[in-house]
Amino acid sequence: MPISPFGDERGQATAEYALVLLAAAAVAFALISWASSTDALPRFFDAVMAKVTAVANR
C-alpha cells in the first residue's frame, strides 16, 4: 500500500460528506426563511396549480 505524503486520510470522505450536508442544510434554511417571510411560496403553488388545471382542461 502506498504511503501518502499527507499522512493518514482515513475519514476524509466522511468529513467532506458532513460538510456538504451542513452546506445543504444552510441553503435549505435560508430558502425556507426567505419563503416564509414573503408570499412567494403561495404564489408559486397557485401558479403551478393554474398551469396543471389549464393542461388538464384541454
What are the pLDDT digits (tens) for 7-57? Answer: 677 778 888 999 999 999 999 999 888 888 888 888 989 999 999 999 999
Range of the domain at 33: 12-56
User: According to the model, what pLDDT value does residue 2 have?
Assistant: 60
Domains contained in the chain, number: 1
Query: Is 26 inside a domain boundary?
Result: yes
Query: Is 49 inside a domain boundary?
Result: yes
Residue 58 has pLDDT above 60, yes or no: yes
Query: Is 1 inside a domain boundary?
Result: no
Query: Is 2 inside a domain boundary?
Result: no
Q: In sequence order, what DSSP letters do the residues of 1-16 get, joined into one string? A: -PPPTT---TTHHHHH
Query: Is 18 inside a domain boundary?
Result: yes
User: According to the model, what pLDDT value does residue 20 have?
Assistant: 96
38-46 long-range Cβ contacts below 8 angstroms, 24+ apart: none
Give the CA-trace dihedral at 7, 11, 15, 17, to 10 degrees. Answer: 130
User: According to the model, what pLDDT value does residue 7 have?
Assistant: 66
Query: Is 42 inside a domain boundary?
Result: yes
Query: Is 5 inside a domain boundary?
Result: no
The answer to whether residues 41 and 35 touch, using CB atoms and an 8 Å cutoff, is yes
